Homo-oligomer: A and B are copies of this chain.
C-alpha cells in the first residue's frame, strides 16, 4: 500500500470525502451532513472527526500514511486559503485550511474554490486526463468554471478566476443575475437558465411543442430530451443556449487558449448532443484559427470535487 491523500468537497447539504492512493485510485468515499447552524462552526470539526474515525477504522495512520487533505469550498478562496464570506455555509472571515489542519494534528491541508477544484479533478482522473491546460465549465443550477494552466488552478488575485458563469454575453437581457449583473452566461447556460429560456419561448410563440403541456414546470432535462427528439421549439431554445455557451468558450480561447474544454454538471448528461450544439457556435466565434481547444465531457460526475481536492495536495 502506497501513500494516501484525502479529498473533501464541502457542499451546502453534505460534505463528500474521498480517500485516495496518491496515484489516483479512489479507495473509499463517504458523506457527512453539512451542519450550517451557528455560522457553520460545526462543519470542519465534523469533517475532522469523520476523517479520524474512518482512517482509524482502516488502520491508516494519518501522520505517516496520509500526504495531506485537500478542501473544496463553495465560494471564493484567497491564495492563502482565507475565506471572506461563504454564503452557502454561513462562514465569515476564516481560514478553513488552517483550521482543519489544526483539527487534524497539523496535517497538511490545501484548499480551493469548489468549481476550480472540480476542474483539477477532471484533469487528474476525468475528462481532462492527460492534459495540463484545461478549462472546465459546469452547467448545473448555476454555471461554474475552473481554469487549469500548467496543471495548476488559476484562482485569480481576488478569487474571480474561472467565474465563467458571470461573463456578460447577452446585451438584450433585462433580468438580473444573482451576481448583480445582467446578461451573464449563467442566466442562459445553467439548468435554471435553459428552463427559463424555454418558458420565454413558450410564452412568446404559438409553435406547437411537447414542452407546452409542462408549462412553468419545464426543466432543462425536458428541453434537452425534447430537442433530441426533434421538437422544433426545444431545438430553438438549445440554439440560443449553444450560441451563448459557444461564445463564452471563444472568449476563453482568446485569453488563455487551453488544450481542452471539459463540460460537466447535470446539463452535460445530454452528452454528445450538447457538445454538438455548443461546437457549432464555438467554431463560428473562433474563425481566427482552426487549431484550438477541443470540447469534451466531464466523466467524474459528483466525484470531481473529491478527486480535485485530493489532487490539491499532490
The interface of chain A, by Cβ under 8 A from chain B, is 133, 145, 147, 149, 154-164, 166-168, 171, 179-181, 247, 250-259, 285-289, 291-293
Contact = CB atoms under 8 A, between A and B. Distances in A.
Contacts of A252: 255
Contacts of A147: 255-256
A164 B255 contact: yes
A128 to B, nearest CB: 13
Contacts of A292: 158, 160
A166 B163 CA distance: 20
Query: In the complex this chain forms, how many copies of it are found?
Result: 2
B287 A180 contact: yes
Contact of A289 (B158, B168, B291): B158
A288 B166 contact: yes
Contacts of A287: 179-181
14 contacts: A145-B254, A149-B149, A154-B257, A156-B258, A157-B293, A158-B289, A160-B253, A160-B254, A160-B257, A160-B292, A161-B257, A164-B255, A181-B286, A255-B256
B247 A168 contact: yes
Nearest to A154: B256
Contact of A149 (B154, B254, B285, B293): B154
A154 B150 CA distance: 10
A149 B168 CA distance: 23
A251 B255 contact: yes
A163 B257 CA distance: 9
A285 B145 CA distance: 18
A275 to B, nearest CB: 19
A289 B288 CA distance: 32
B168 A257 contact: no
A112 to B, nearest CB: 14
Given A291-B158, A292-B158, A293-B157, A254 B180 contact: no
What 6 pairs between A and B have smallest CB-CB spacing?
Answer: A156-B257, A160-B257, A180-B287, A179-B288, A163-B254, A158-B291
A255 to B, nearest CB: 5
Given A160-B289, A168-B250, 12 more contacts: A157-B258, A157-B259, A157-B293, A158-B292, A158-B293, A160-B257, A163-B288, A167-B254, A171-B171, A180-B288, A181-B288, A256-B256
